[in-house]
Structure 1
Amino acid sequence: MKPAEIRALVRLKPPELRPGVRRLASAHDIDGLRSAARRASPRPVFDYVDGGADDEVSLRANLDAFRRRRFVPRALAGVADVDATAQILGRSSALPLVLAPTGLTRMMHSSGETAVAASAARAGLPYALSTLGTTSIADLAGSPHGELWFQLYIGHDRARTAELVDEAAVHGYGALVIAVDTAVSGRRLRDTRNGLTLPPALNLKSLAGIGIRPGYWLRMLSSPGMTFPSLHGGAAPARGLTGAATWFDPSINWTDVADIRRRWRGPLLLKGPLGPADARRAVEAGVDGVQLSNHGGRQLDRSAAPIDLVAAVRAEVGPQATVIVDSGVRNGADIALSVALGADAAAVGRAYLYGLMAGGEAGVDRALGILGSEFRRTMQLLGVTSVAELRAQGPDLVL
């Protein structure tokens, strides 16, 4: 073969000199973004996102539950054109996907929730702000965003809890998601070992791990101090972390859900490890749907993988109630599996946080782009051309 012919076959890509761009370009799936996030973040910060409760049995089982399922695709289905849009709580979404709420988001990257909201808007997906978010309800609504939801932790301070519900309504949040799996906080041993507790108790090893990530700290030091504005209406930074530890109330019950249902006029979801009986009770109480979740394996260890609950919950609540599933979603095929089993959508937290840690807003774009591409390809390979068809044909497509 002549040199000119070799040059025509082998096109060398010029090296990318910008570390952030290079880091994202080398990540071809969510696991790749996870590796990039580990390299870019201090160890305690990465472990906070990556870890789970106690022995992390649920953390591993969530992933395994998706991977043990098998598809049975339809052949010769004519899949040149596919429509990946979905209806979630009566509104159109570019994918059957929701960006789940996460706490301490500005700890992962200084751009925090505003970067995630902007990326979600570009992707045409709903994004839920957490009560433990580091951006206020009003500030996020005032930044570039698409469909916003608010995830509510019912706290000891019921008056402040009611104020949060009202604030979300005033600022146009499209849905309220009540988390019911945090009566007490789970025991996350990685955080305990790293000293990332409330209040923080960092050890020398953790401090050394933090010190070798100067880029991370330059961003953090040039940004405003991190607080939890929803907890105390914009309290001083000193109260922020301490207040988070005392917010949760183990006495919450179904009466609290009924009170919030009367107060909140928009779509209402219950989020937690709900079995069929609790899901039915939620719908009977006027809730519009459920988000099946074990908090990504971060609360009750050894709890059931939410994907394994989807079919039974759907059978119990009927076709009209909204069912969303999270915990373990790392691939577009996981989203397809969720819909095929009966969910309206899947939700991701760690998947976009890995992107945020690896490259800020551009990293979230990368994560959502990967998931969308994988989902559309899975649809085509399954032989379906719409999300509605995937849902209808689901029982025949999954073993």
Structure 2
Amino acid sequence: MLFNPHKLGVHKVLQHIPLNALFDIPYKAALKKAVNIADLRTIAKARSHKMVFDYLDAGADDEISLRRGKDAYSELEMHYKVLSGLKPPLDLSTKIFGMDVDLPFFGCPTAGNRMFHWEGETAAAKAAEKFGTLYGLSSLATTGIEEIASIHTGPKVFQLYVWKDRELVKEVLAKAKEGGFGALALTVDFTWYGNRERDIRNDFSIPPKYTLQQTIEAIRKPAWTYDFLSHEPYKYECINTEVPADSLAAFVNSQIAPEFDWKDAEWLLGEWNGPAAPKGICRPEDAKKAIEIGFSSIWVSNHGARQLETSPATIDVLPSIRAAVGPDVEIIMDGGVQRGTDIVKALALGADAVGVGKPYLWGLAAGGEAGVTKAYDILKVELDRAMGLLGTGTVEQLKKEGPSLIKRRGASARDYPDQYAPSRGYGGGIV
């Protein structure tokens, strides 16, 4: 341990010396030229402390699920219609948790946004407000519920972990309701903390431990470092403002309740008494059970491939979950989405709305609110273009006709002898 600049009051001096804009000149220029989400990732990597970027970028163990989650979309073809008579602009509006939104995608609730850029969750909330879509706030956010409520006046969902302290849960739920959050997402795939080996190698902590290794890396990334040093240290504002965000893994492991079960979920639904979804569903039977006990929606997710290694790509399990719960239950899906075409495929195969995580966080790390806005704009343009080329003018039409438009690429009969036997005439939608 070297020293803690925040405890020495360095931020109180540096906040009066506005060098942020100077350090950010090259990244702002790069942001203007960015044409896709991959460009935002490149800028975020160049600007961010290595420990911070790897925390955002990584998956569990060997990151097999992380790669598969993205690659799974490339195995799906869009069999487009022609001469559809569509006239721009297309209608991208829909409902999420029964609330009207202008886009069928939104930024997933994610922890500790201020570690990526000092604007943190406020940047993401402002972008979501600008685009008229849902905003999701994590219970491990570094910005408070009241501040977010003052920024984003539209539909909001609050994400909750399965904490041991039920009084804490009640207190957080009450604050979320007062802040205008109309829906709840209970994270159910996080009862153990995933093995994120990049974090271990980097000695990840929030904030940095000021070791020699972390200090050298901070010197290499002056834009991120000056942001960090010239602002107040982060805290978990939605849990307890007196708890410093010193170690995410240690904090979660001390507070999480692995024994939380379906009966506990029923209790939680009674306390919330509103639209809610279990976030992290992978199996059709779990989806059916969730609806039976009172959840209004299903959230298909594998926690960004950051928990159980070799868990399936969410786009691959989505159709079976749709089949299990029927056509009328709302399904939200996230995982591996980095293109507007990915969003189209998810909507076509059973999702009512699509969450994105890494894309907007890369934007945040690259340039604060401007970066998040850029991420939304890229995905919106790509979504609009893909729907137009596919021949679907509305989200509802896309969902209705989707199974006939999206097909898996041809596979070897040797690998799939039953499904792809010549007598079956391969070419239908995903089953």
Farther-moved stretch of structure 1 (176-185 vs 248-257): 248-257
Q: Which of 163, 170, 182 does residue 155 from structure 1 map onto?
A: 163
Write the deviation string for residues 298-318 of structure 1: whole angstroms up to 9, x where unpaired. Answer: 001100111111111111111
Mapped to 2, the partners of 1:223 and 1:79 lie a distance apart of: 49
Post-superposition offset of 1:197: 4.3
Letter in 1 for 2:232: P
Mapped to 2, the partners of 1:366 and 1:200 lie a distance apart of: 28
Q: Which of 332, 346, 367 does residue 359 from structure 1 map onto?
A: 367
Q: Which of 280, 283, 305 does residue 313 from structure 2 map onto?
A: 305
Write the deviation string for residues 269-293 of structure 1: whole angstroms up to 9, x where unpaired. Answer: 1100421000000001110111111
Match of 1:228 in 2: 236
Equivalence map 1:203-282=2 (5 Å): 204-232=212-240, 234-237=241-244, 243-282=251-290
SS state of the match for residue 379, structure 1? helix
Match of 1:9 in 2: none
Confirm whether residue 181 of structure 1 aligns to residue 189 of structure 2.
yes
Confirm whether residue 64 of structure 1 aligns to residue 76 of structure 2.
no
Q: Which of 345, 351, 362 does residue 353 from structure 2 map onto?
A: 345
TM-score (norm 1): 0.92
Post-superposition offset of 1:227: 0.7
Q: Which of 103, 114, 130 does residue 122 from structure 2 map onto?
A: 114
Mapped to 2, the partners of 1:202 and 1:350 lie a distance apart of: 26
Match of 2:92 in 1: 84
Mapped to 1, the partners of 2:245 and 2:32 lie a distance apart of: 39
SS state of the match for residue 133, structure 1? coil
Post-superposition offset of 1:206: 4.0
* Identical pairs, percent: 39
Equivalence map 1:286-301=2 (5 Å): 286-301=294-309
Write the deviation string for residues 304-346 of structure 1: whole angstroms up to 9, x where unpaired. Answer: 1111111111111112211011110000001100010011011
Instruction: Indicate if the aligned counterparts of 2:27 and 2:47 stay in contact, CA closer than 8 A.
Output: no
Instruction: Indicate if the aligned counterparts of 1:195 and 1:203 stay in contact, CA closer than 8 A.
Output: no
Write the deviation string for residues 33-79 of structure 1: whole angstroms up to 9, x where unpaired. Answer: 00011111111111010001111011001001111111100111012
Mapped to 1, the partners of 2:236 and 2:245 lie a distance apart of: 10
Instruction: Indicate if the aligned counterparts of 2:332 and 2:351 stay in contact, CA closer than 8 A.
Output: yes
Instruction: Indicate if the aligned counterparts of 2:205 and 2:247 stay in contact, CA closer than 8 A.
Output: no
Aligned Cα root-mean-square deviation (Å): 1.8
Mapped to 2, the partners of 1:195 and 1:123 lie a distance apart of: 37
Mapped to 1, the partners of 2:378 and 2:286 lie a distance apart of: 34
- For structure 1, which runs of at least 5 residues remain unmatched after alignment? 1-16
Aligned residues, how many?
A: 382
Mapped to 1, the partners of 2:187 and 2:257 lie a distance apart of: 12
Instruction: Indicate if the aligned counterparts of 1:324 and 1:345 stay in contact, CA closer than 8 A.
Output: yes
Q: Which of 307, 325, 330 does residue 333 from structure 2 map onto?
A: 325
Change (3 A) 1:200 1:43: closer
Instruction: Indicate if the aligned counterparts of 1:120 and 1:145 stay in contact, CA closer than 8 A.
Output: no
Match of 1:5 in 2: none
SS state of the match for residue 178, structure 1? strand
Instruction: Indicate if the aligned counterparts of 1:227 and 1:240 stay in contact, CA closer than 8 A.
Output: no
Change (3 A) 1:236 1:261: closer
Match of 2:52 in 1: 45
SS state of the match for residue 230, structure 1? coil
Confirm whether residue 21 of structure 1 aligns to residue 23 of structure 2.
no
Change (3 A) 1:176 1:191: same
Instruction: Indicate if the aligned counterparts of 1:186 and 1:300 stay in contact, CA closer than 8 A.
Output: yes
Write the deviation string for residues 125-158 of structure 1: whole angstroms up to 9, x where unpaired. Answer: 1111111111122222133443221000011111
Confirm whether residue 283 of structure 1 aligns to residue 283 of structure 2.
no
- For structure 2, which runs of at least 5 residues remain unmatched after alignment? 1-23, 408-431
Match of 1:104 in 2: 112
Match of 1:31 in 2: 38
Letter in 1 for 2:362: Y
Match of 2:81 in 1: 74
Post-superposition offset of 1:220: 1.5
Mapped to 1, the partners of 2:269 and 2:164 lie a distance apart of: 18
Mapped to 2, the partners of 1:238 and 1:119 lie a distance apart of: 25
SS state of the match for residue 398, structure 2? helix
Letter in 1 for 2:165: D
Mapped to 1, the partners of 2:364 and 2:211 lie a distance apart of: 26
Write the deviation string for residues 334-376 of structure 1: whole angstroms up to 9, x where unpaired. Answer: 1100010011011001000000011100000000000000000
Change (3 A) 1:254 1:198: farther
Post-superposition offset of 1:99: 1.1
Mapped to 2, the partners of 1:154 and 1:24 lie a distance apart of: 37
Mapped to 2, the partners of 1:238 and 1:332 lie a distance apart of: 34
Mapped to 2, the partners of 1:161 and 1:58 lie a distance apart of: 31
SS state of the match for residue 291, structure 1? strand
SS state of the match for residue 159, structure 2? strand
Post-superposition offset of 1:178: 0.2
Post-superposition offset of 1:204: 4.2
SS state of the match for residue 80, structure 1? coil
Match of 1:14 in 2: none
Post-superposition offset of 1:231: 2.5
SS state of the match for residue 118, structure 1? helix
Post-superposition offset of 1:200: 6.0
Instruction: Indicate if the aligned counterparts of 2:300 and 2:333 stay in contact, CA closer than 8 A.
Output: yes
Post-superposition offset of 1:167: 1.3
Mapped to 2, the partners of 1:32 and 1:350 lie a distance apart of: 12
Letter in 2 for 1:366: K
Change (3 A) 1:199 1:83: closer
Instruction: Indicate if the aligned counterparts of 1:231 and 1:243 stay in contact, CA closer than 8 A.
Output: no
